[in-house]
Amino acid sequence: MYYCYLDTPIGELLLAGEDDALAMIGFPKGSMRRDPEPDWIFNEKPLATARRQLTEYFAGTRKEFDLPLKLCGTEFQVLVLEALQEIPYGETVSYGDIAKRIGRPKAVRAVGAANGRNPIPIVVPCHRVIGSSGDLTGFGGGLDTKAELLRLEAEHTQDLL
């Protein structure tokens, strides 16, 4: 596994992947804070495209990612991660909406758990999932980070009009 860091407006992100596929983004704080594993190799080159696209995202010039991803998890978790990728930039949906989209309308809590285990946040936009009441709910980078990502997208959604 290769890894590198990327300075962003929400702090320094840890990026990791195998070959050219992005496998993990770690936040600087919160439950998804990660450190490189001892056997990982620091190398920015395999992650250059991910670094560029994330930089463009934070600059407001990229609304969709076009990266090879290594999605890990159970069949259900991968189904949820794939559904998350369909949430348009600047929009939010509820956990219930995702459960319905994957054909499991009663699996709201399981969707929330799968969302919380998302190893590639931002690129797989779990930050766009909110509570049915409209409240921001748990996020691996902290609720302030989730709010900042949603604010950034709202600000740059205006650029699309």
Active-site residue set: 126
Edge-to-edge strand order for the sheet containing 2-8? 21-26, 11-18, 2-8, 41-42
Beta carbons within 10 angstroms of residue 48's beta carbon = 12
Contacts of 50 (CB under 8 A, 6+ apart): 15, 17, 22, 67, 123
Can you list the alpha helix ranges (DSSP code H) found in the chain? 48-59, 75-84, 95-101, 108-116, 143-157
**Amino acid identity, residue 71?**
L
